[in-house]
Amino acid sequence: MESHLGLIEDSFNESYSLWAREALDELPDNFTITDPCISGHPIVFASGGFLKMTGYSRSEVVGKNGRIFQGPATCRRSVMEVREAVREERAVQITLLNYRKDGTPFWMLFHMCPVFSKEDGRVVNFVAVQVPISRKLRRFRSGFVGGHVGEDCNDVNEVVFGSCRREVCSDSLLELGRVLALDSDVRELEIEEPCEASDVEKRRAASAINNVLSVLTHYSESTGRLVCGKRCSLSGVGHLSSSLTISLGRIKQSFVLIDLHLPDMPIVYANDAFLKLTGYTRNEVLGRNYRFLNGEDTDSLTSNHIEESIRMEQACTVRILNYRKDKSSFWNFLHISPVRNASGKIAYLVGVHMEEGCANQGGRGHGLSPEMRQLGTVGAVKIAVRSSSMAAGPSKP
């Protein structure tokens, strides 16, 4: 958990100067900032207004996915609309029913937009502004009577159990179960009437988005990693979609993606486990050739074998001496394999890294051999890439 929070701190601090948090806290708006490049697409910043509105402390929010604010009557269709906007890397503005820490529901205008890197056009963050909408409450009777769902709560339970796909609310399923406890008591849930935001509230949300983007743009200048609210189209520079990045973030074994179609075949994705293994930050890895892990005692014949396999677009497995950021060496059990998109063309190379002697690296050993764990990782990456390319339409060559 501490290493995960450390990655979150590093992610924000690498993109923005140390004064960014203070400047963001001075804004009166209710908003969160998330990072799709980190496993679980967590919140990396929550404004004071947002914390006051929801009743959570900052430590209870940072590092968590935004679905912790969903509840029994949160509309699954609205949640999927937000997920679709993330996948397509576009802005979205909808009304959404969320829940405070004490369990009380409230309607809000939810306005989310991506923040792009000015250098390569990839999405580095999503900003989500929440403008509360005050409306009259209505009551729903819900519960289980004699082993059957109460008649008035069918709609509520349809929303709850219909939305419990793993990718939507798996982390909150247990909490939802507590809300709809299986007992003989008939419970009453107070939820607010479905409502539409006014033009004033919509303008307020748009203004808040502009305020946050202005701060992020200003405080990214000192880091040399400029961000902006619109994607800059740069020729010859590739980027991974947010949906693919989020899917890859669920894979626990250490790995990187290499783009064969860019000069010097740079790393375009590195997961949290790889960063933990090597000690580098994400920005220190992206854009570099995998050879940066080599050092003075790295066997040149092994390196040449890797180069030849990559040139021939063939899989290979080697044992190679690599070096961490702190210059300490480790024996790397490395497997490299081509990854094809939905059209069957090679889109990337995946390099799966495993420190020799760390049997349970990645937390999912379960008695499997290193070779089987690496092949499982390759399979998971291939599924993510193919699924993403099918959803995105025509793929790059």
Chunked in runs of 10, what are the mean pLDDT values of the chain (397 residues)? Answer: 65 83 94 90 94 95 93 93 90 94 94 89 92 64 42 41 38 42 41 72 93 93 85 58 86 92 88 93 87 93 90 90 95 94 88 80 61 91 86 51
At which of 171, 206, 228 does a domain end?
228
Tracing tokens 């626990």 back to the chain, one arrives at 252
Is the Cβ–Cβ distance between 35 and 11 less than 8 Å? yes
* Domain presence at residue 250: yes
* Domain co-membership, 212 together with 259: no
Pick from 45, 51, 38, 35: which is nearest to 3 by CA? Answer: 38
Containing structural domain, residue 299: 242-392
* Domain co-membership, 87 together with 151: yes
Q: Is 335 helix (H, G, I), strand (E, B) or coil?
A: strand
* Domain presence at residue 236: no
Pick from 228, 198, 233: which is nearest to 214 by CA? Answer: 228
Is the Cβ–Cβ distance between 65 and 40 less than 8 Å? yes
Task: Kindly provide the residue ranges of all beta strands, DSSP E only, lying in the chain, ordered along the sequence.
Answer: 31-34, 43-46, 92-99, 105-117, 123-133, 137-145, 148-149, 186-192, 227-228, 255-258, 267-270, 316-323, 329-340, 346-355
| Strand duo 137-145 + 186-192: pairing | antiparallel
Calculate the alpha carbon distances from 302 to 137, 323, 326 in Å: 68, 15, 23
* Domain co-membership, 134 together with 19: yes
* Domain co-membership, 146 together with 281: no
Task: Give the per-residue pLDDT at 14.
Answer: 79
Quote the number of domains for the chain.
2
* Domain co-membership, 124 together with 262: no
At which of 172, 201, 228 does a domain end?
228
* Domain co-membership, 37 together with 144: yes
* Domain co-membership, 277 together with 375: yes
* Domain co-membership, 137 together with 265: no
* Domain presence at residue 233: no
* Domain presence at residue 282: yes
* Domain co-membership, 195 together with 253: no
Task: Give the per-residue pLDDT at 312.
Answer: 84
* Domain co-membership, 185 together with 213: yes
* Domain co-membership, 164 together with 258: no
Find the CATH number of the domain harbouring 212: 3.30.450.20
* Domain co-membership, 330 together with 224: no
* Domain presence at residue 397: no
Task: Give the per-residue pLDDT at 325.
Answer: 95
DSSP label at residue 131: E
**How many whole angstroms separate alpha carbon 350 and alpha carbon 382?**
9
Task: Give the per-residue pLDDT at 162.
Answer: 37
At which of 228, 258, 280 does a domain end?
228
